[in-house]
């Protein structure tokens, strides 16, 4: 690791993964992952499918429990109990590969749902808030559309607005563009870029190498449940240290 090249290394660590181990039965999904996320950083997790990137992300907000090591959020170890996790999850927005918008609610209602149910906002305020965040992702004119009436890219932007409406400190993205048609990937990435420019702390599992390269502050390369290499994108993409990283990048057609 070369923290000298880490522009935001002097900022406080928001998330710390310390030798995180996750098992599914006998299968070891994470074999001791250590990684820091500083405030305002965009940390991209890359690597082949099944290498543990998404698993680590899902452990971050307690959707999956861990068997070893520790995850710290703002200096405190992740709570184990449901109540503690609920409080924590309000502060971490999550965006899923398959969007997971609520199909029985309109775009506006989807975004207002968290503020309404979790933050106990009154309906009028929740609605105002939802309108504001829909506008932020450029979908104010789709407020009354149901998810099934929206394109994949639009659905994912609504999902981002839904997560932002909770005013999270961190955003977790789990392959946000993997289920999208190529022509709608750009609109989602540009919303994410805009968020990054505003200083949002983001952990992004992605196969979009150009995004990791351009927007990422720090890149961690996963292979069989371990971080085999991490560093600033310039290093990872131009002078990767390991053979495995070079292989992975060249398979994706990344010339370096």
Partner 1 sequence: MTLDWSVVWTHRGALIDATGMTILLAVATMAIALPCGACLAALRLYAWGPLRALAVSYVEFFRNLPLILVVYWAFYVLPILTGFGLSPFLTGLAALALNVTAYNAETFRAGINSIRRGQVEAAMALGMSRVQALRRVVIPQALRRILPILASTWVSLFKDTSLVSVIAVTELAYVSMQVRAQTFRVLEMLSAMAAIYWLLGYPQAKLVDWIQRRYAVSE
- Shortest CB 125 distance to partner 1, Å: 17
- Shortest CB 43 distance to partner 1, Å: 18
**Judged by CB, which is closer to partner 1: 21, or 85?**
85
- Shortest CB 103 distance to partner 1, Å: 5
- For residues 184 and 237, what is the distance between their CA atoms, to the nearest angstrom? 25
Q: What are phi and psi of 70, to 5 degrees?
A: -150, 150
Cβ neighbour number for residue 53 with a 10 Å cutoff:
28
- For residues 22 and 67, what is the distance between their CA atoms, to the nearest angstrom? 5
- Shortest CB 126 distance to partner 1, Å: 12
- Shortest CB 20 distance to partner 1, Å: 19
**Judged by CB, which is closer to partner 1: 63, or 224?**
63
Chain contacts with partner 1 (rule: CB under 8 A) = 61, 63, 82, 86-87, 89-90, 92-94, 96, 98, 100-104, 113-114, 117-118, 146-148, 162-163, 166
For 13, residues 6+ apart whose C-beta sits below 8 A from its C-beta are 36, 37, 38, 39, 72, 75
**Judged by CB, which is closer to partner 1: 4, or 81?**
81
Contact status, residue 40 vs residue 199, Cβ threshold 8 Å = yes
**Judged by CB, which is closer to partner 1: 45, or 219?**
45
**Judged by CB, which is closer to partner 1: 173, or 248?**
173
Contact status, residue 21 vs residue 67, Cβ threshold 8 Å = yes
**Judged by CB, which is closer to partner 1: 149, or 197?**
149
Contact status, residue 92 vs residue 60, Cβ threshold 8 Å = yes
Q: Which residue, among 134, 141, 180, has the nearest Cα to 157 in the 3D structure?
A: 134
CA torsion sign for 37, 38, 40, 42 is: negative
- Shortest CB 70 distance to partner 1, Å: 21
- Shortest CB 82 distance to partner 1, Å: 7
**Judged by CB, which is closer to partner 1: 134, or 236?**
134
For 237, residues 6+ apart whose C-beta sits below 8 A from its C-beta are 209, 212, 213, 219, 249, 254, 256
């Amino acid at each position: 690791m070369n923290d000298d090249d880490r522009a935001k290394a002097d900022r406080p660590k928001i998330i710390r993964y310390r030798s995180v181990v996750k098992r599914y039965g006998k299968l070891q999904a994470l074999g001791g992952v250590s990684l820091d996320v500083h405030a305002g950083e965009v940390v991209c997790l890359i690597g082949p499918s099944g290498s543990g990137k998404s698993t680590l992300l899902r452990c971050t907000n307690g959707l999956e429990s861990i068997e070893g090591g520790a995850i710290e959020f703002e200096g405190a170890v992740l709570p184990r109990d449901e109540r503690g996790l609920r409080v924590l999850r309000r502060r971490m927005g999550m965006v899923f590969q398959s969007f997971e918008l609520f199909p029985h609610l309109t775009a506006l209602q989807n975004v207002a749902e968290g503020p309404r149910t979790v933050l106990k906002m009154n309906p009028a305020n929740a609605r105002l808030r939802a309108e504001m965040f829909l506008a932020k992702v450029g979908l104010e004119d789709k407020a009354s559309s149901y998810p099934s009436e929206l394109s994949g890219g639009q659905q994912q932007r609504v999902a981002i607005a839904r997560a932002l409406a909770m005013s999270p400190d961190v955003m977790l993205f789990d392959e946000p563009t993997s289920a999208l048609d190529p022509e709608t990937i750009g609109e989602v990435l540009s919303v994410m870029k805009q968020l990054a420019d505003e200083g949002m702390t983001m952990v992004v599992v992605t196969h979009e190498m150009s995004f990791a390269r351009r927007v990422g502050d720090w890149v961690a390369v996963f292979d069989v449940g371990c971080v085999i290499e991490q560093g600033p994108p310039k290093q990872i993409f131009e002078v990767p240290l390991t053979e495995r990283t070079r292989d992975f990048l060249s398979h994706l057609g990344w010339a370096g």
